Structure 1
Amino acid sequence: MLLSSVLLASMLQNPLCDMCWLRDDSRKNTTVLAYLKNENKTSEHYLKPLVSKQKNLLNEWGAMAGNKAEKPWLDMNGYRYKTLNKGERGVVVRKNQQREDVVINMNQRAHDHAYYKLGNWSVSPNNRLVAIAENTVGDDNYIISIIDIASGEIQTQFLGEYADTLVWKSDNEVIVVENEANTYRPYKAVLRNIKTNTSVTLYQETNPAWLVSAYIASDAKSILIQSNNHNTSVQYLLRSEKKSGIDPKAALRLVKPRKSSVEYYVDVLDGKYYIKSNQGGKFAIYTAQDVQREWTPIIQPKGDLTRWYLANRRIVIEEKKQGITLLEGFDLQGKKVFSNNLSKAASVGWMARNTNPASQTINVRTMGLSQPPAWTKLNIETGETVSSDADVYNQFSTNNYVSELISVKHQGVEVPVSLVYRKDMLTDDSPVFLYGYGAYGVTMRPYFMPQIISLVDRGAVYAIAHVRGGGFKGDDWYQAGKGVNRLNSIQDFTAVAQVMKQFRIESSSAKVVDRDILALGSSAGGTLVAAAINQRPTLFKGAALQVPFVDVLSSMSDESIPLTRQQYAEWGNPNKPEERNVMRAYSPFDNISAQDYPALLVRSGLFDSRVPYWEAAKYTARIKALSTANNPYLLVTDLQSGHSTDRTKALRQQAMDYAFLLNLTNLNK
């Protein structure tokens, strides 16, 4: 009663910001914490009868686990590295011809922490030390530790506010990137000398919309320090050295001055420069003997160049054309020597774990909604398959499932939808689990997951709506759903939901079906789903939202919130009236009204620095206050994590989300 009274009083005192009291940047306000804990208890009480269903799902997922195909080793500086699934967290090991060592034991390092994330790791040139970036809070600040691999002892630690960038310049020097206080913006590249305990600032970015990072080139000698915003980049070259002592700032070379809307990314091999850039309009591959002089285009794809890999004798790219991903190999002069289609019905492939430019093979990861993951080695000269090894799952046969890629016609475009179902389990009232994201040009790959199979085995249809704003059809598809075009992605999702509500296969009865639609969205996907629910609440039976970005207008108007100024191009700039009007039209929190909202399970992390916990708290509080339906609106705040959590906890949460949604349907057995 006390918490309800506080909430009501706050609404009456400030009706224009009725839920603002839930924001606490310190994460220590006792009233706010009490409210969140009370909401957790309310949710726990509602979900308690579903615990047995949650356990059943977890047991099913565990029982499916069979033999995993061996993951390719990473070849680096005379050693081969791999992360092994030993214990709850795993261990990073390495081996050469003489021995095998444990490099990082995540189980031990996470032992005393409720939350643990290994953000990055990098081994020194002499192979004796490993730098690791760890987070034990849940925000985007990492602690950097330098560990002696042989003894396991920590040599030194950097306890400030750091991103997870780690690049060794010499055996005693490592480049790290400091985060800006409060905003978590990576803004300053610093060279730390672990022997003398001194530091030198290499580069500092003053523009609040730009982010700093660094990486080492394929020759393992050239270091690129980079600053970029959403559509422009600038880079500086620095040579790594076996010995420290040179003036690193004097050794920095500007590649090319920043130019609005021009991006470039440099790689180096055998003394020659290769550059991926859109300086000619579309992304292409260029080459140069002197990177500061003229660049010569050698590969100019007709589609969108999404990824590339530089090897001793080949350049391999991923090119996207209208949702089809091609893996194409070229010689170093730009002549195409092979082209493979990585896209089939509701499946996908991509380059992965390729670290040795001298290798004669290239590793490709493939999978689909009903196709178990596989590692395939291709001959880098010809593109022909050398070997392929797929995961084997218990009690699973691909032949039992139908995977499709369909299109939903809407507003003059065709929205791709990846889906999977079982013909023998599909009925006229089988529900549809509909997932969406639609932001940052990210392509939501149709991954194989035992979790999805467990839904399909119960008779559900699982579908992914590849709406505008995502990258499924390339850059034009992304541009059509970002910023002032955000409403397109939301309307795409609503259109897909409407079609899937009436989805039926050719052999099914001719009568009109009316399926329950259960929506799933995380982070930016939460924006998509929540906004679609505002538009058509009765179209959805329920939704599960994880760390949803739902208070778009308020967050993008507050420059003190992390990453706000870097996100204007993606979500809109509220300082511009036209863009503010668009944001006001789709921002989920600002468009909640008195209507019949479906059942909702909303999750957040207290220490989330990307999507603050109070967005989910404000959103669910307003839904509860205004909804005219008698449905559950549950808020669960993880008080020990941030934007993500560890795999074990994430699986438990996912199982409960599925149990919650299944309980709303005819599959609630």
Structure 2
Amino acid sequence: MTLTPPIAKKVPLKRTHHGDTFVDNYEWLRDKDDAEVIAYLEAENAYTEQETAGLAELRGQIFDEIKSRTQETDLSVPTRMGNWWYYSRTLEGKSYGLQCRCPVDSPDNWTPPTLSADIEIAGEQILLDSNLEAEGHDFFSLGAFSISQDGNLLAYSTDTEGDERYTLRFKDLSTGELLADTIENVSTGATWAIDHRHVFYQTVDESWRPDTVWRHTLGTPTEQDQKVFHEPDESYWVGFGSTRSEKYLMIWVGSKITTECLVLESADPEGEFRVVLPRVDGVEYSVEHAVVKGEDRFLIQHNGSVNGWGTEGEKAENFLLAEAPVDNPEDQRILVPHRADVRLEDVDAFADHLVLNYRREALTRLAIWPLDENGYGEYEEMTFDEELYSVGAGSNPEWSQPLLRLVYTSFITPAKVYDYDLATGEMLLRRSQPVLGDFDANDYVQHREWATTADGTRIPLSVVLRKDVPDGPAPTLLYGYGSYEASTDPSFSVARLSLLDRGIVFVVAHVRGGGEMGRAWYDNGKTLTKKNTFTDFVSAAQYLIDSGRTSPQHLVADGGSAGGLLMGAVANLAPELFNGILANVPFVDPLTSILDPSLPLTVIEWDEWGNPLAEREVYEYMKSYSPYENVEAKDYPSILAITSINDTRVLYVEPAKWVAALRATKTGDSHLLLKTEMNAGHGGVSGRYEKWKEAAFEYAWIVDKTGGSLDYRQR
């Protein structure tokens, strides 16, 4: 029997704000406990399955390609912590990884052992097998994985629903036995105090906002756990961690534009946390502990005045770095001044050096800064050969170590793990991500191009393709995100090879709202400038078409979550430029969500989008771009929307309503498909094989809509 497109019933619901009334016909889809809602979602799934059945063979080919290129039995580069080498393993046929360790053979040995995933490893301990933890569950996610400083205890948390509510458990690593302590409904993290008896964790409020820090003492009932901090302001969330030195425990409190840090010496876990610097509206800061010339110092990165904390002057929007005594954090001396062309992102402190992480010209940068008897030496930026790349610190848990673990990658270079020798400056390659089969990086090229918007802004584009793709309109996938100052940095993908090898050009549009070009780039793509994100993406698409790179018949747009909002907005703004739009967990009903403070994370989001409840201007601006509220009777490109029923960040109801409105309103005969994962959360399905199947499903659709070759070698 051939299925017809599901038509959702209309149940008009009036919503009135600032004198404006909007009739929402599909809000009834929000109740996932309603059998009629589930029946509708399942009908959409069945229709999607029918309409994509012709791609089944191609999906199978792509899945097989991903699988054949992946070294299924594998392990990571061991990282030293204390007297152990820690690493993860994957086994052929197993969906999830194993967390393992083996003993260090010599106190002076910092060279990771050469281990083989398919050969028995001497002294190996399997600390956690996620395959066993996942048994009997359709979904599994590992949250916390925290080893006590003495190496004897493990705190770990698991989520088996996809709703990001975790169960925290404890394991005695000397015996392998689980302790009786179990804590339900916690957030992801867990942090040990240095005494190995106290562990700190967080819980969330009804809106899924991490708001409270608790202290648990091993061996005591959960009911006796002590609340050590609570943040009542719904626009702030709470984080917890410790410095690399493990001398300080830290509570982080932050909104989108303001932060505050509280510290406590880890040796006194039952003491009182103290505020480092009181929160100042619109000022963000972070704190790291360093020891300089034998004295404890706080390294404070902030975006207050360019002249220093508490002084007059223009805002250091790209952040500066200062140092201060731990007992007087306001007595600051600027170490790295603010620069308009460099976004300072992070500083890592070690016993005898610092690592600066920053961004310039849309690329990540990293510099090593030695500490010696005279204090701060000269820092030196590391250089790399490729035009596009990403570099960052890897796993470096030890306060004092002679090597610095780095990870380097690009769109065409599989991830490389290096140990940088701090004494000699030598880069020691420890591992290059294996890609099986006939992969040769020399078959591909990557480069930067620039699109210009109507307001004259130059938008960086990252372009990746096979060398032998002919000139002229080519099948092209244009990806974008553009929110939360998140940057889409170059990274290698085994799965993406299945697109590139079919002649598809992959392009990333680094639109405003992201963080690639500094804080101003972000500020000019949020709140009342959010439309820049959408018009930047349209300009990128138009540039690719005008330059002859592609044509509307061969161009597909792709984005997820807040990038899914971008997809929905672009579908309304310039549907004629695309043959297809892929929207993953798309935030396409933003005004409804941001108007409802009871929904997960809404109040926190007001600094990102504005507060439409309080401000008419924000309400009208958001309504003018909301994809759901701007669906029109016109031809749209083919659209594939994918969501998850247990998503707590972007509720499934948003794409469900969007698709229902499109189906009832749009003209033309382009495909409109909704796929709902019925046992997953914001990150989609779990387990690597299921993720490969999902990638194959999406990529087969992309190949079809771009006109890519079914088999590259037969083009």
- Scaled by the length of structure 2, what TM-score is found? 0.87
The equivalent residue for 1:483 is 527
Secondary structure of 1:356's aligned partner: coil
Matched-pair contact (CA < 8 Å) for 2:98–2:127:
yes
CA distance in 1, matches of 2:203, 2:243: 21
Q: Does 1:295 align with 2:295?
A: no
Match for 1:657 among 698, 701, 710?
698
Query: Per the alignment, do residues 62 and 594 of structure 1 end up closer, same or farther by CA in structure 2, a change over 3 Å counting?
Result: same
Question: Which whole-Å CA distance do the structure 1 matches of 2:13 and 2:208 have between them?
Answer: 34
Q: What secondary structure does 2:418 align onto?
A: strand
Contact 1:426–1:460 (Cα < 8 Å) also in 2 = no
Letter in 1 for 2:566: L
2:23 is paired with a residue whose SS is helix
Alignment of 1:42-441 (within 5 A): 42-65=47-70, 71-86=76-91, 87-97=94-104, 99-169=123-193, 170-181=195-206, 183-197=207-221, 198-241=224-267, 248=270, 250-270=271-291, 271-279=296-304, 280=308, 281-282=315-316, 283-293=319-329, 294-300=331-337, 302=339, 303-332=342-371, 333-341=375-383, 344-381=386-423, 383-387=425-429, 389-393=431-435, 394-410=437-453, 411-441=455-485
Q: Equivalent residue of 1:663, what SS? A: helix
The answer as to whether partners of 1:489 and 1:528 remain within 8 angstroms in 2 is yes
Rounded to whole Å, the distance in 2 between the matches of 1:423 and 1:515 is 22
CA contact (8 A) 1:81 1:95 kept: yes
- 1:263 Cα deviation after fit: 2.1
Note closer, same or farther for the CA distance 1:133–1:455 as it changes in structure 2 (3 Å cut): same
Which piece of structure 1 moves more, 102-111 or 260-269?
260-269
Write the distance in 2 (CA, Å) between the matches of 1:648 and 1:143.
24
Partners of 1:193 and 1:199 within 8 A in 2: yes
Between the aligned residues of both structures, percent identity stands at 27
Answer whether contact 1:502 1:515 (CA < 8 A) is retained.
no
SS of equivalent to 2:202 = strand
* Structure 2 CA distance for partners of 1:262 and 1:13, relative to 1, 3 Å: closer
**Residue among 517, 527, 539 paired with 2:577:** 539
**C-alpha distance in 2 between matches for 1:288 and 1:514:** 56
Structure 2 contact 7–663 (Cα < 8 Å) conserved: no
Larger displacement relative to structure 2 (337-346 or 86-95)? 337-346
Match of 1:508 in 2: none
How far 1:72 sits from its partner (Å)? 3.5
Q: Equivalent residue for 1:559?
A: 597
Whether 1:17 and 2:17 are equivalent positions in the alignment is no
Extract unaligned runs of 5+ from structure 2: 16-21, 106-122, 309-314, 711-715
Greater alpha carbon shift after TM alignment, 299-308 vs 100-109: 299-308
Aligned 8 A contact 1:324 1:341 in 2: no
Report how far residue 115 of structure 1 moved: 0.5
Deviation at 1:382, TM superposition (A): 6.3
CA distance 1:123–1:325, change in 2 (3 Å): closer
- Asked if the contact 2:4/2:47 (under 8 Å) is kept, the reply is no
Distance in 1 between the 2:205 and 2:449 partners? 45
Backbone CA RMSD of aligned residues: 2.5
CA distance in 2, matches of 1:200, 1:638: 38
Pairwise CA distance, 1:2: 13
Where does residue 114 of structure 2 map in the other structure? Answer: none
Higher mean alpha-carbon deviation, 151-160 vs 170-179, is at: 151-160
Instruction: State whether residues 550 and 619 of structure 1, in contact with CA within 8 Å, keep that contact through their aligned partners in structure 2.
Output: yes
1: distance between equivalents of 2:99 and 2:301?
Answer: 31
Q: How far did residue 572 of structure 1 move?
A: 2.1
Of 270-279 and 141-150, the range deviating more from structure 2: 270-279
Does structure 1 retain, via aligned residues, the 8 Å contact 2:235–2:604?
yes
Q: Which moved more, 1:166-175 or 1:488-497?
A: 166-175
* Structure 1 counterpart of 2:689: 648
CA distance in 2, matches of 1:493, 1:158: 47
Distance in 2, Cα, partners of 1:565 & 1:129: 37
> Which letter does structure 2 place at the counterpart of 1:286?
A
> 1:12, 1:582 → 2: CA distance?
22
Q: Write the letter of the residue equivalent to 1:417.
A: L
Q: 1:151 to 1:33 in 2, by over 3 A?
A: farther
Distance 1:474 1:343 in 2: 23
CA distance in structure 1 between the partners assigned to 2:399 and 2:149 by the alignment:
17
SS at match of 1:195: coil
Task: After the TM superposition, list the runs of 4 or more consecutive aligned residues in structure 1 that deviate by more than 4 angstroms.
Answer: 1-6, 11-15, 66-70, 381-384, 512-515
Summarize the Cα distance change of 1:624–1:205 in structure 2 as closer, same or farther, 3 Å threshold. same
Partner AA of 1:91 in structure 2? L
Please give the alpha-carbon distance, in whole angstroms, between the structure 2 residues aligned to 1:261 and 1:187. 20
2:634 is the alignment partner of 1:591? no
The TM-score normalised by the length of structure 1 is: 0.93
* Pair 1:104–1:383, CA change in 2 (3 A): same
Task: Assess, with a 3 A threshold, how the Cα gap between structure 1 residues 223 and 401 changes in structure 2: closer, same or farther.
Answer: same
CA distance in 1, matches of 2:511, 2:362: 12
Q: Distance in 1 between matches of 2:261 and 2:41?
A: 44
Q: Does the CA-based 8 Å contact 2:477-2:507 persist in structure 1?
A: yes
Checking the alignment, whether the CA contact within 8 Å between 2:180 and 2:219 is kept in structure 1 is no
Residue 77 of structure 1: how far off its partner (Å): 3.3
Q: Which amino acid aligns with 2:235?
A: A
Change (3 A) 1:373 1:125: closer
**Contact between 2:553 and 2:579, CA under 8 Å: does it hold in 1?**
no
Maintained 8 Å contact 2:83/2:104: no
| 1:368 Cα offset (Å) | 1.5
